[in-house]
Amino acid sequence: MKQAIQLKENMYWVGVHDFNCRHFHGDLFPISEGTTYNSYLIVDEQITLIDTVEEEFFDIMMERIHSIIGDKPIDNVIVQHAEPDHSGGFVKFMQAYPNAQPYTSNAGVKIMLKQYFREYDYHKVKTGDTLCTGDYTLTFVEMPMIHWPDNMLTYVDKANIVFSNDAFGQHIASYDIFDDAHGLAKCIDRAKDYYANIVMPYGMQVANKLKQIQEMGLPIDMIAPAHGIIWRTYIKELFDAYQEFATFAAKDKVVIVYESVWKHTQMMAEALAEGLGRNSICVKIFKCSLTSPAIIMKELLDAKAILVGSGNYNNAMAPSIAAFLEKLASCKVKNKKALGFGSYGWADVVTKQVNERLVRAGLPLLQDGVVSQNYTPTQEDLDALMELGKTLAAEIKAN
């Protein structure tokens, strides 16, 4: 029988490991070592489950639950988020525990009905509502659009644990379930990866919610998210990192994304990178068609600028660049500047189109004018691009 893992007295992890998961949210987010779907059990006068798991892993969750409570009934189930990786096992759970009282947000009720087509007698909760399970009082805090309308977290007094659902999650799949087993650098890096690819569009909501949580003055010993490890040692560092993520705090760094067939645009990208890099700018350069957007978005989170390059293909930009610019706009990136560049043969139209898309995405341009190249760049052309990189470096460092 698979066993629960104790977090504190009366508090248990009863989730599952998905070691084979390599793509999260469809194919949008590649991950290296799998992930976890975290459910938590509070054993009190009333036994309470916080979140379920993907439907296919329901039996594993139940094994862990039975390892603690045997055949005792579960009195309450908290649905913090209706997304199927957290609620997929809910219907089976209610079949196993038909007398359990479900709690969720108003938005959660609507989404659960739309997904599973079954009515339940939900207790609809809002920020500040509580549930007493005996020795413990659970306080609910709504977190709309972090990252669905229904998200919420649950705070348990006396245990001083925040069950935060998607907030503060990361993809670390390990039986060492606490942060200090993995080191600060790895944990914050994985949290950054998760934030950039799941939460980035909702930075304003994150910043406001962080402020609200801090103003509530709750003593917090642990933060237990829905994916990855549990935070207990690096909580201050986690809050500081999330504050930076939410405000798009940036360093002297530029991300260059390009597409190139005959290497003309690639040569331009590398010359610009050379000029930037020689002048104390951290440069990350990616060929778009060979790189997951998830990797690019993570690097962009703390960059000051992005340069986007494409050749001309039937008077249009490369499809991979068009798709990337669409994603860039959807992520609502703030506090960055941008610039398009590219090569062409007989019609110099695409670089202007790239710049227009960057501006529509809310990214002001680093300079006026079009940075374009007719066919193969000469050494003089490349030297000029390196000099442009130097000029851009000065502007980036000045901001």
Domain CATH number, residue 90: 3.60.15.10
Of 18, 166, 270, 299, which one is the catalytic site residue? 166
Q: Is residue 399 part of a domain?
A: no
- Check whether residue 292 and residue 215 sit in a common domain: no
Picking from 128, 297, 90, 133, the residue whose alpha carbon sits closest to that of residue 218 is 128
Is residue 74 included in any domain, yes or no? yes
189 as an active site residue: the answer is no
Set 194, 202, 258, 344: catalytic member: 194
Catalytic residue flag (residue 194):
yes
Domain residues for 55?
5-246
The last residue of one of the domains, among 198, 229, 246, is: 246
User: Of the listed 17, 171, 227, 264, which one is catalytic?
Assistant: 227
Based on the fold, state whether residues 261 and 239 are members of the same structural domain: no
Site of tokens 């070592």: 33
Would you call 25 a catalytic residue per the annotation?
yes
Q: Does 81 qualify as catalytic in the annotation?
A: yes
Domain shared by 236 and 285, yes or no: no
Is 147 designated active site?
yes
**Residue 175 appears among annotated catalytic residues:** no
Q: Is 23 a catalytic residue?
A: no
182 as an active site residue: the answer is no
Return left, alpha or beta for 145; rule: phi > 0 is left, psi -120 to 50 is alpha, else beta.
left
For each of the chain's 399 residues, which pLDDT tens digit applies? 899 999 999 999 999 999 998 888 767 788 888 999 999 999 999 999 999 999 999 999 999 999 999 999 999 999 999 999 999 999 999 999 999 999 999 999 999 999 999 999 999 999 999 999 999 999 999 999 998 999 999 999 999 999 999 999 999 999 999 999 999 999 999 999 999 999 999 989 999 988 888 888 899 999 999 999 999 999 999 999 999 999 999 999 999 999 999 999 999 999 999 999 999 999 999 999 999 999 999 999 999 999 999 999 999 999 999 999 999 999 999 999 999 999 999 999 999 999 999 999 999 999 998 999 999 999 999 999 999 999 999 999 998
Q: Considering 44, 51, 75, 85, which one is annotated as catalytic?
A: 85
Residue 99: Cβ-neighbour burial (10 angstroms; 0-12, 13-18, 19+):
exposed
User: Of the listed 83, 179, 193, 299, which one is catalytic?
Assistant: 83
List strand residue ranges (DSSP E) for 109-199, in order: 123-125, 130-132, 137-142, 152-156, 161-165
Same domain, 242 and 123: yes
Question: Can you give the pTM of this predicted structure?
Answer: 0.94
> What beta strand segments (E) does 26-109 contain?
29-30, 35-37, 40-42, 48-50, 76-78, 101-105
CATH number for the domain harbouring residue 273: 3.40.50.360
